[in-house]
Structure 1
């Protein structure tokens, strides 16, 4: 099949796990014999004079990185305007694919949208080429904000997600919990949603056994610094952990809007010297930290999937994670890692203590987690399942859609 993917991030422009997901999926689809074009973008804050639209073939994928238009918008200040402008530029670049001049012109058999930020160009291009629209919903605005969509921007984003889900001919989510969330939020049929888990290429993650600890324990967190990631719970657990395991440190890798608040929280709990912020890590740096940590702690309060759990498992790092969303499906408690309820600081501390108290048992769980990756989370399996969704998707008759009814709280209350 000829697949047109649309994503607001694709290497080297990577914001979070979505960019890596799209990259692995696109390259694996090419290995399976499909033609893939990815519509992505140039880095934020650039313009067409310094960073013009760029076409490149990488790993068999034609990547069209679209330049920003001259109109000046700042993502953090004008998010919706910035997103609409990006979408407009992507539409023009997508239409150009079908024009003579690129051979006979290239037209897709399916358009695959990744998240709400590319809803406008994806819907427009699927209509232009008259092909099915498949969308992967990686997260929802309501989920990111514990069910609350009371602010004006929250409501706008939610309405775009609703539109994308309802206009799609098929929807993909990365976990069963996300499927439940999407069908409940957007009122779409359960049968139109396929669950396809994220994958991992274990060849890029060297497995290393844990050695007997010769120094105070090191805990690691990797991810965005946002409230829904629950880092505040890991910081709050540190005094309890350090009482039974003196000298234990927590190292936080990633960037986000909550850095200042989290740093202050470490001071409030009197563990500022035991908590360090590492910023963003490249692959080699991340692998080094994974190999050096006694455990990775993923305390999310909301998590559609959590691909870092797979990366840590591939590297052999013992897993301690909440049961939020996809994490509860990615980790088998007591078998491939240890779990606790979201926002349960005591449960988090107890799970960490169990890892530190019995290194051999932690190593056994880490090895079981690595073995599971080759069965349940192989990228070829992910790509084959996605291709089946493409083949089954048929462009449905479109009827005019009314605006969604938006309630202030759209999901059941969580801790």
Structure 2
């Protein structure tokens, strides 16, 4: 797994990479993560479950994105790949420079590659045009693409001119046990509860006409997250509903504008600003509220609204991007990305809660049944099997793909490693861009040949793998007869190690 965005920075992409990696490790795979160095984190770190993270020291330019150099990352990337005996490189996020460079280098080294897109982009502004051209360069030579929603898939297919057959939709998920409502039994620690069917949600909370309703907002305070809409809507919502207060957590360049609005309207006693919070603290903030407000202007999925619903909050969100695909209608109140409509939608949500029309205490079990990282890992594993040849074309795609085997792609959806075929694919990216992309690939290939001669693979030490867990069925198969020799053998080995 490779991306510029990973812990300790909080966020949806960061959480996605970590949760997916740990579940793949549980399924018997070896997973490492490559990201750039953060303040106080450089070198190799081990996380839970033996997950190894390489923090590569590279210059960061904007929003934790490294400076794109194209080729300077290749030597250390090749060293890590050979040391860890990697077979598949999985990049995340369109704005990650490390991700794009790693996919290019991995294809040059003859490795299978997968790309996951977590964002939506436009087609008209300069930044989107440049990003889309970069994405087209990377995805011209990738084996498979994963998107977190169907809207994200449509956006990515159009931006990178992809065959929809080679794009899968695998949504994000949440760890439901980490986002339990107040009063909900902890079924993972209570041994008396044998199955989720035995769990009964807490009794419904009835709100009176004068009870205080708390609206929670947890978001990065950036323009695309709708912070300007939030700033404009808060005074109007509080003026219309005297028994309503806000809790806002997050940081970003719009935090100053938010503080100025509170000063201007004298709302400090009704709006609590928490600043940045760690991901493990999100649940503690959410359970203090009744409504979660998400005024985003663009969103491919919106994991935070799933976390809010799992905590028993009624969600008010904008109908943009992939958000309408995330939760059922009875758990959400949708609004247009406009100030007036957000105020009206929030008013409807407040009225529905005061009338006790919404059974929010049932939301947790619904979210738990809909979203699971184990399911995401299984579906991602199927993608790996498909591009590696473990699954046949009919098994992977569900039917025989039109065109079948071709000279440039090999099996449908799986790219050929031949340099001439790669150049053909890059050459079709544009009149001028195609020639530039081909030049980059040729230089990358020559650099790879030079590295193979200058630093032979035989001189690179192979890293020892983290010991795998012994599964329950394997433990049950051990009998007393097989257990004793194993114990004796391990004791003799310890004696030999001690003598040496």
TM-score interval, smaller chain? 0.7 to 0.9
The one of 116, 130, 149 aligned to 2:125: 149
1:113 aligned to 2:91? Answer: yes
Looking at structure 1, the residues matched to 13 and 352 of structure 2 have their Cα atoms a distance apart, in angstroms, of 35
Match of residue 220 from structure 1: 216
Deviations 1:153-188 (A, max 9, x none): x54433322222322211111011111111112211
- Whether the aligned pair in 1 keeps the contact of 2:21 and 2:51 (CA below 8 Å) is yes
The one of 286, 293, 316 aligned to 1:297: 293
- Whether the aligned pair in 1 keeps the contact of 2:115 and 2:142 (CA below 8 Å) is yes
| More divergent stretch after superposition (128-137 vs 346-355) | 346-355
Looking at structure 1, the residues matched to 148 and 356 of structure 2 have their Cα atoms a distance apart, in angstroms, of 27
- Whether the aligned pair in 2 keeps the contact of 1:175 and 1:197 (CA below 8 Å) is yes
Match of residue 38 from structure 1: 33
Match of residue 474 from structure 2: none
Q: How many residues align?
A: 376
Looking at structure 1, the residues matched to 174 and 326 of structure 2 have their Cα atoms a distance apart, in angstroms, of 12
Match of residue 410 from structure 1: none
Q: CA deviation at 1:402?
A: 5.0
Looking at structure 2, the residues matched to 205 and 331 of structure 1 have their Cα atoms a distance apart, in angstroms, of 16
Equivalent residue runs for 1:11-410 within 5 Å: 11=7, 13-43=8-38, 52-56=42-46, 58-68=48-58, 73-76=59-62, 82-84=66-68, 91-99=74-82, 105-116=83-94, 117=96, 118-140=98-120, 142-143=121-122, 147-151=123-127, 154-208=128-182, 211-212=205-206, 215-265=211-261, 274-333=270-329, 335-343=330-338, 345-359=339-353, 364-393=358-387, 394-396=414-416, 397-398=421-422, 399=424, 400-404=426-430
Distance 1:219 1:405, change over 3 A: farther
Looking at structure 2, the residues matched to 375 and 392 of structure 1 have their Cα atoms a distance apart, in angstroms, of 27
- Whether the aligned pair in 2 keeps the contact of 1:133 and 1:395 (CA below 8 Å) is no
What is the TM-score with the length of structure 2 in the denominator? 0.68
Distance 1:98 1:228, change over 3 A: closer
Q: CA deviation at 1:65?
A: 2.0
Q: CA deviation at 1:379?
A: 0.5
Match of residue 413 from structure 1: none
Match of residue 469 from structure 2: none
CA RMSD of aligned residues (A): 2.9
Match of residue 102 from structure 1: none
Distance 1:165 1:276, change over 3 A: farther
- Larger-gyration structure (1/2): 2
Looking at structure 1, the residues matched to 125 and 71 of structure 2 have their Cα atoms a distance apart, in angstroms, of 26
Gaps of 5+ in 1: 100-104, 407-415
Looking at structure 2, the residues matched to 349 and 405 of structure 1 have their Cα atoms a distance apart, in angstroms, of 48
- Whether the aligned pair in 1 keeps the contact of 2:306 and 2:327 (CA below 8 Å) is no
Distance 1:173 1:269, change over 3 A: farther
Q: CA deviation at 1:150?
A: 2.2
- Give the match's secondary structure for 1:7: coil
Distance 1:162 1:128, change over 3 A: closer
Distance 1:405 1:174, change over 3 A: farther
- Whether the aligned pair in 2 keeps the contact of 1:238 and 1:271 (CA below 8 Å) is no
Q: CA deviation at 1:110?
A: 1.4
Looking at structure 2, the residues matched to 29 and 377 of structure 1 have their Cα atoms a distance apart, in angstroms, of 16
| More divergent stretch after superposition (89-98 vs 382-391) | 89-98
Distance 1:67 1:346, change over 3 A: same
- Whether the aligned pair in 1 keeps the contact of 2:141 and 2:415 (CA below 8 Å) is no
Looking at structure 2, the residues matched to 89 and 336 of structure 1 have their Cα atoms a distance apart, in angstroms, of 48
- Whether the aligned pair in 2 keeps the contact of 1:111 and 1:131 (CA below 8 Å) is yes
Q: CA deviation at 1:88?
A: 5.8
Q: CA deviation at 1:6?
A: 0.6
Looking at structure 2, the residues matched to 222 and 89 of structure 1 have their Cα atoms a distance apart, in angstroms, of 37
- Give the match's secondary structure for 1:234: helix
- Whether the aligned pair in 2 keeps the contact of 1:112 and 1:136 (CA below 8 Å) is yes
1:9 aligned to 2:29? Answer: no
- Whether the aligned pair in 2 keeps the contact of 1:336 and 1:368 (CA below 8 Å) is no
Looking at structure 1, the residues matched to 262 and 124 of structure 2 have their Cα atoms a distance apart, in angstroms, of 27
Looking at structure 2, the residues matched to 168 and 362 of structure 1 have their Cα atoms a distance apart, in angstroms, of 51
Looking at structure 2, the residues matched to 229 and 52 of structure 1 have their Cα atoms a distance apart, in angstroms, of 30
Match of residue 486 from structure 2: none
